[in-house]
Amino acid sequence: MAKFVLAGRADCPFYAKVELLADYLQKNLPDFRVHKITQHPDAWEEWLKNICEKNKWNHKKSPIIWRELVDRGGKGVLLGGYNEFLEHAQLYYGVTSNMTSELMLMVAKENLETHIETELEEKSLKGPSSPLKIWITSASTSTSYNLIPLLASGEVFGKHTEISISLFSNEDREYLTTILLEAQDLLSPVLQDITICTQVEKAFLQAHVIILLDEPVGREVLSLEDCIRSNVPLCRQYARLIEKNAHESVRVVVGGKTFVNLKTSLLIRYSPSIAHNIIAVALGVEGQARAMLARKMKTTPSEIKNVIIWGNISGNNYVDLRKTVVYRYKSAIVGPPHYARPVLHVIFDSEWINKEFVTTLKNLSATGKQFGGILAAHSIATTLKYWFHGSPPGEIVSLGVLSEGQFGIPEGIVFSMPVKFENGTWVVLTDLEDLEINEQIMTRMTSDLIQEHLVAFGDVLYFKPYKSGNLLNALTNKKLRDLIHQR
């Protein structure tokens, strides 16, 4: 049986002609079947691009016609467009079309009107659309201010996904109102609504996405230890509200400048039903590293891929360049656009890599000295885009997730490590080769994270930054698990 799929713009006269010819063949030939896909002119180009990328076809115009070898939805073989279908009908069935240009245009106009009427009917039957509900805490921060236009652009969740944004904060309502009015002035086609919430018990109502930007200081903090401990009641409260108010499939992204790993870990502990949907953003640190490399190599950060951030996102971490590559690098070796060279083979200044590069990034990611609002907002938006639509094929993404012992990382702490996003979730890339981390680097990274947990719950009174030989560095994985899970 011959089964053909015809797809085209609703207002395309050539689509109208092959459509009527296909209808004739289906009516008069017992083994000829046709399935038609009509797209609105505004949606046609994106639809065509997606179908061609999915099937690895090269086709640019309306209509597009393919033959299915199995039932609808199966693998297809591209026939081509208008001319190819007419030639096929003439060659195999001895049938052609004598439709005039005037009639083609008239049918195309009727097709468009019918298609619009059908879309309106379907929309009315579905009722009011339900937007994706996004909540931002500490919404008066510069990160929030820079993030809202990115979310409203349609680039993060998709051009056809309507969103509503709730700005949650108990500080500076007047400034929040200013942000709200500016967001409304964007005239975004996807931003259905933006509101302000200052009542704690109403936080995260029906939230699909929660972006936590808090620096949890409700009073004057006299010490580093007080700041660490203040995360516990805040995260416990947030977790309770998330479990109570948010949508069951809610996704939580943790940003901010201090104790990002610890906050994420606490939220995971107190929100067990959505534990896998709570992550910490590490792309900001990765962005800083790529920018430094780009300046050194006189290229752009976008051409540098696969920088891996290990460890404490807002503290003691390790920037791993062993898998890092650069594209379109101008040198004696020239290749096609997809050709990449290992960065460590291009930068011959090992002293710069081991000293200036490391020291500068360490100072930038030290607690309280993180990147500014623009980079932080872009990092959060990019992470969300990957989470919803998948990360670029073959690229490594750094993400703070709960350790299950991968790469020898102690279980029970949130640790930045290499992942990929696919099918609406993330997967740790444990199959990467030659990524063993030596014991000294691992101890340096885990020591501060372990101490943060111990100080937060009162097991240790004072936080002591990592030093070689520190007794706390010798804490075993079992001891850590016991301390974290015994409560």
Average model confidence (pLDDT) across the chain: 85
**Quick one: tokens of 424?**
């609406």
Contacts of 106 (CB under 8 A, 6+ apart): none
Of the pLDDT bands very low, low, confident and very high (cuts 50, 70, 90), residue 332 is: low
Q: What's the half-sphere exposure (Cβ side, CA atoms, 13 Å) at 349?
A: 8
- In this structure, how many other beta carbons lie within 10 angstroms of the beta carbon of residue 232? 18
Buried-exposed string 423-443: b where 16+ CB fall within 10 A, e elsewhere: eeebebbeeeeebebeeeebb
- The residues with which 325 forms a beta bridge, in sequence order, are 305, 342
- pLDDT at position 221 is 54
Residue 289: closest CA among 204, 191, 194, 361: 361
**Quick one: tokens of 461?**
């009174």
Q: Report residue 338 CA to chain centroid gap.
A: 23
Residue 177 clears pLDDT 70, i.e. is over it: yes
Residue 415, helix vs strand vs coil? strand
- pLDDT at position 108 is 78
Are 274 and 242 in contact, with CB atoms under 8 Å apart? yes
Average pLDDT over residues 76-103: 84
Say how far apart CA 420 and CA 392 lie, in whole Å: 8
**Quick one: tokens of 447?**
């020591």
Are 215 and 138 in contact, with CB atoms under 8 Å apart? yes
Q: Where are the beta strands (DSSP E) in 176-327?
A: 191-197, 209-212, 251-254, 278-281, 304-305, 308-311, 317-320, 325-327
For 421, phi then psi, to 5°, come to -105, 130
- Classify residue 204 as left (phi > 0), alpha (psi -120 to 50) or beta: left
Residue 330 clears pLDDT 80, i.e. is over it: no
pLDDT tens by residue, 386-395: 999 999 998 9
Q: Is the pTM of this model over 0.85?
A: no
Provide the terminal-to-terminal Cα distance of the chain, rounded to the nearest Å: 66
Average pLDDT over residues 277-285: 94
Q: Report residue 437 CA to chain centroid gap.
A: 27
Are 254 and 260 in contact, with CB atoms under 8 Å apart? yes
Residue 155 clears pLDDT 90, i.e. is over it: yes
- pLDDT at position 71 is 44
Residue 480 clears pLDDT 70, i.e. is over it: no
Residue 19: closest CA among 158, 115, 160, 121: 115
Say how far apart CA 108 and CA 100 lie, in whole Å: 12
- pLDDT at position 26 is 86
Average pLDDT over residues 301-330: 91
Residue 465 clears pLDDT 50, i.e. is over it: yes
Residue 430, helix vs strand vs coil? coil
Helix axes 13-28, 101-126, angle to 10 degrees: 90
Residue 438 clears pLDDT 80, i.e. is over it: yes
Helix axes 142-152, 373-389, angle to 10 degrees: 40
- The residues with which 252 forms a beta bridge, in sequence order, are 210, 278
Positive/negative CA dihedral, 154, 156, 161, 167: negative
Residue 123 clears pLDDT 60, i.e. is over it: no
Q: Hey, which of 15-29, 223-237, 260-274 has the most confident mean pLDDT?
A: 260-274
Chain position carrying tokens 């996704």: 251
- pLDDT at position 72 is 43
Average pLDDT over residues 200-220: 82
Average pLDDT over residues 287-302: 91
pLDDT tens by residue, 377-433: 999 999 999 999 999 998 999 999 999 999 989 888 999 999 999 989 999 999 888
- pLDDT at position 184 is 86
- pLDDT at position 80 is 92
Q: CA dist 198 to 137, 169, 202, 253, 463, Å?
A: 10, 5, 8, 20, 33
- pLDDT at position 487 is 47
Q: CA dist 441 to 183, 287, 362, 402, Å?
A: 44, 22, 14, 19
Residue 218 clears pLDDT 80, i.e. is over it: no
Of the pLDDT bands very low, low, confident and very high (cuts 50, 70, 90), residue 69 is: low
Say how far apart CA 433 and CA 326 lie, in whole Å: 19
**Quick one: tokens of 372?**
């500014």
Helix (H) or strand (E) holding 99: none
Residue 383, helix vs strand vs coil? helix
- In this structure, how many other beta carbons lie within 10 angstroms of the beta carbon of residue 276? 12
Are 407 and 374 in contact, with CB atoms under 8 Å apart? no
